[in-house]
Amino acid sequence: MFPDKFTFSIAEPINYAVNWLVLNYGDVFEAFSNGILWVLLGLEGVLRGSPWWYVLFLTGAITYIATERFSQSLVLIAIAFFMGVLGLWDQAMQTLALMLIAIALSVMIGLPCGVALSKSNRLRMIMLPILDAMQTLPSFVYLIPALMLFGLGKVPAIIATVIYAVVPVIRLTDLGIRQVDQELLEAARAFGTGSFQRLFGIELPLAFPTIMAGINQTTMMALAMVVLASMIGARGLGEEVLLGIQRLDVGRGLTAGLAIVALAIVLDRITQGYGKRVQSMRRGGET
Amino acid sequence: MTAILLNNICKVFGADSAAALHLLQEGVGKEEIRRQTGAILALRDVSITVGRGEILAVVGLSGSGKSTLLRVVNRLIEPTDGTVTVYGEDVLGFSGAALQAFRRQTVSMVFQGFGLLPHRTVTENVGYGMVAQRRPRHEWEEMSRQWIQRVGLSGYETAYPFQLSGGMRQRVGLARALATQAPVLLMDEPFSALDPIIRHDMQDLLLSLQAELQKTIVVITHDLNEAVRLGDRVAVLNDGSIVQTGRPAEIILRPANDYVSGFAVDVNRLRTLKACDIMVPSHAGQAIDLTVAEDASIEEVLSYQVLRKEPIKVTNSAGLVVGEIEWEAVRALLKRDI
C-alpha cells in the first residue's frame, strides 16, 4: 500500500477552480458557446436542408477545383452517394457540419500559433512538449475540460475535437515556414520589405503545401473524434456507432463506421489534392 | 565623388563579440581569438571606398569574408565595429523604418542563388522591389516589362522561375535589382552558378548596361578573371582583411603577396592587360610606322610583334603617341603565361 501521507489530491483544487471559472466567467463561456452554436446550427441547417444532389454536385465541384481532375470528382461523388445509400445521409450532414466547424476553428487557432512558433525558438522549445502531450493524451481526456466548461452538447464536442486535432496544423505551419529558403527571405529583406510583407508575400505562400498537409492531418484526427464526441451530445454518425455498441447491434455500428470512412475519404482527398496540386504547380509538374 | 565609404569595419560572429573585438584590437590572430572566446572573426579592420559610377570587384576565397563585407553595406549583417556611409548617409545610424527606406531606394542586390520567388511570374519578380516601394500596380508592371526587355527576356513575362535556365533566372535577378532605380548595386557572386559561356554573356550584359546606367556597383567573386573583367578597381580579401586594392593591371602585374599572385596565376594576361598597362610612357609625338591603340589587348600587340620583334608605339584616342612597348616586355608576360 502506498502511504497515505504522501498522497495529494488534485481533484479538489481542480473542481474548485472550475467552479470558480463557471461562477465568475459563466457568461463569457456561454456567449462563446452560443456564438459557435449559432454558426454550427446555421451550417447544419444549410447542409441538411439542401437537396442531396446539390450537396453531391458541390462535392464534385470543390474536388475539381482542388485537384483539377475530373475522374477524382466522379469518384468522390460516388463515395458521398454511398453514404446516402447506407441510409445515413442526414447523420452524415450533421457530422460534416461539426467537422467543418472544428477544422475551421483548428486552422484559425493553429495557423497563428504555428507562425508564432516558427518565429521564436524559445516558444518552440516550450510548446513542443506540450504539443507532444496533446497528441499522446488519450482523447477521452479532452472531453473532461470541454464538459466542465460547456456542459453537454455540440459545442463541447467541437471544443474537444479542436483541442485534439489542432496540433498538426501548428506543427506543420511551423515546419513549413522554417523550411522556406533563407536566401529568398534575405533577398526580400534586401529590397526593404517588412516582416508582415515577408510573412504574407513569401513565407505563408511557400509554406502552403506543408500547411495543407497539416490541415489534412487535422481533418483526419478530427474525424477520429467523431464517435467520442457523440458521447457528450454531438449527434450524427458517431451517435449511430455508439448506439450500435450499446445495443450490441453490430450491423448498425458497422454501417455508421463505413459512412465515417466514406466521409473521411472525401475530406482527405480534397485537402490532400489541393496541397499537392499547388506544390506540383511550383515545381513544374514534377512532384 | 565617393558613393560608398566603409571605415575600419570589423565583424565577429559569436556570443562574446566584445571580448573578441578587444583581442582583435590588440592584434591577436583569427585562430587565437576563436580559441579564446569561441567567436569567429569575419572581417578585420576593412576600409573601402567606392566612387560614384565605379565598379569595385572584391575577390577572395570562400571564407575570406567577402559575402559578409557586401552585406555590411546594406546592413543585412550588422558590423561589430566601424562606420558605413552610403551617399553621405550614416547607414549604421538608421532606425528600422529608415533602414527599410534605404534598402528600397538606395541599394539593391543580386544573389548567387538568384533569390527569385518561385510562386511569382517573371514580371512579378522583376516588380518585387517596386512593390516594396509601394508603386501602383500599372506603373510597376509597365516598368517590369521594360526591364524584362532590356535584359533580353521578352516573351517570358508570364513564365515562372522554374521554367527558366540559370542564366535567364539571373537576368530576372538583375532586372529586379535595376528596376528599383537604386544608385547602388550589390552583387554577391552573381554569375558563379552559371556555365562559363553564359557567365561571359552575363558579364557582357552587365557591362553594357553599366555603360548607360553608371551605377555604383560592388561585385563579389572568387574568380579574378571575372574581377578584372568587371571591376574598375579590384580589392583582394584574405582571412577578413584587405590585402591589396588597385586597378586590375596593378593586381596582375604587381601582386602584393603570394595569396594575390596565387589568384593572378589563372588570369589570361594577354587578353586582360591592355597596351597602356605595360607600355613605357614617352613624350607625345606624331604616330609613325607601326602603332596600337592604348586600350588594345596584349594579344593584339603580340600579333604585330611576332612578325617583327621591334618596339611598337602606343597611341591614345587622339592618335598621338603616348608610349612604347618593347618586345621584351611582351615576351616576359608570355613566359609567365605559358
pLDDT band at B287 (very low <50, low <70, confident <90, very high): low
Average pLDDT, chain B: 87
Residue B81 domain-assigned (yes or no): yes
Of A171-185, B17-31, B245-259, the least confident: B17-31
Q: Are residues B102 and B193 in the same domain?
A: yes
3-state secondary structure of B324: strand
Question: Which of B267, B287, B321 marks a domain boundary?
Answer: B267
A183/B115 touch (CB, cutoff 8 Å), yes or no: yes
A190/B118 touch (CB, cutoff 8 Å), yes or no: no
Among candidates A186, A197, A283 on the partner chain, residue whose Cβ is nearest the Cβ of B115: A186
Which residue is closest to A185 within chain B, CA to CA? Answer: B115
Task: Give the pLDDT score at A287.
Answer: 35
Residues of B in contact with A205 (CB under 8 A): 119
Task: Give the pLDDT score at B337.
Answer: 53
Q: Give the mean model confidence (pLDDT) for residues B293-319.
A: 79
Is a pLDDT exceeding 50 seen at residue A286? no
Residue B251 domain-assigned (yes or no): yes
Residue B282 domain-assigned (yes or no): yes
% chain B with pLDDT above 70 = 97
B151 touches B126 (CB < 8 A): no
pLDDT tens digits for A149-174?
A: 787 888 888 988 998 899 999 999 99
Alpha carbons A193 and B133: distance in angstroms, whole number = 9
3-state secondary structure of B107: strand
pLDDT tens digits for A77-97?
A: 999 999 989 989 999 999 999
Task: Give the pLDDT score at B312.
Answer: 81
- Residue B260 belongs to domain with CATH number: 3.40.50.300
Q: Are residues B262 and B275 in the same domain?
A: no
Residues of A in contact with B107 (CB under 8 A): 190
Q: Are residues B86 and B219 in the same domain?
A: yes
Task: Give the pLDDT score at A6.
Answer: 84
Is a pLDDT exceeding 90 seen at residue B39? no
Task: Give the pLDDT score at A135.
Answer: 82
Q: Are residues B330 and B223 in the same domain?
A: no
Residue of A191, A203, A210, A278 for testing the chain B interface, max B β-carbons within 10 Å: A191
Residue B5 domain-assigned (yes or no): no
Q: Are residues B302 and B324 in the same domain?
A: yes
Give φ, ψ of A134 to 5 degrees.
-60, -35
pLDDT band at B249 (very low <50, low <70, confident <90, very high): confident
Among candidates B76, B132, B176 on the partner chain, residue whose Cβ is nearest the Cβ of A186: B76
Residue B122 domain-assigned (yes or no): no
Q: Are residues B196 and B102 in the same domain?
A: yes
Question: Which of B221, B243, B267 marks a domain boundary?
Answer: B267
DSSP code, position A4: G
Task: Give the pLDDT score at A118.
Answer: 94
- Residue B316 belongs to domain with CATH number: 3.10.580.10
Torsion of CA A75, A80, A86, A91, to 10 degrees: 160
Residue B139 domain-assigned (yes or no): no
Q: Are residues B93 and B238 in the same domain?
A: yes
Residue B205 domain-assigned (yes or no): yes
pTM as predicted = 0.83
pLDDT tens digits for A98-149?
A: 999 999 999 999 999 999 999 999 999 999 999 998 888 887 887 877 787 7
Give the structural domain span for B216: 49-106+182-267
A71: closest CA of chain B, how far (Å): 27
pLDDT tens digits for B184-206?
A: 999 999 999 899 899 999 999 99
Say yes or no: B104 contacts chain A, CB-CB below 8 A.
yes
Q: Are residues B253 and B277 in the same domain?
A: no
Is a pLDDT exceeding 90 seen at residue B34? no
Residue B41 domain-assigned (yes or no): no
Total domains in the fold of chain B: 2
Q: Are residues B289 and B317 in the same domain?
A: yes
Is a pLDDT exceeding 90 seen at residue B121? yes
B107: closest CA of chain A, how far (Å): 8
Task: Give the pLDDT score at A179.
Answer: 93
Q: Give the mean model confidence (pLDDT) for residues A21-49.
A: 88
Among candidates A187, A205, A206 on the partner chain, residue whose Cβ is nearest the Cβ of B115: A187
A206/B119 touch (CB, cutoff 8 Å), yes or no: yes
Residues of B in contact with A189 (CB under 8 A): 76, 103
Q: Give the mean model confidence (pLDDT) for residues A217-232.
A: 88
pLDDT tens digits for A58-77?
A: 999 999 988 888 898 999 99
Of A96-105, A140-149, B49-58, B139-148, the least confident: A140-149
pLDDT band at A266 (very low <50, low <70, confident <90, very high): very high
A282/B119 touch (CB, cutoff 8 Å), yes or no: yes
Alpha carbons B175 and A186: distance in angstroms, whole number = 17
Say yes or no: B74 contacts chain A, CB-CB below 8 A.
yes
Question: Which of B225, B245, B267 marks a domain boundary?
Answer: B267
For B223-266, give the DSSP string.
Answer: -HHHHHHH-SEEEEEETTEEEEEE-HHHHHHS-SSHHHHHHHTT
Alpha carbons A35 and A158: distance in angstroms, whole number = 12
Most confident of B109-118, B283-292, B318-327: B109-118
Residues of A in contact with B116 (CB under 8 A): 184, 187
Task: Give the pLDDT score at B250.
Answer: 87
Q: Are residues B80 and B211 in the same domain?
A: yes
Q: Give the mean model confidence (pLDDT) for residues B16-42.
A: 77
Q: Are residues B283 and B215 in the same domain?
A: no
Q: Are residues B191 and B307 in the same domain?
A: no
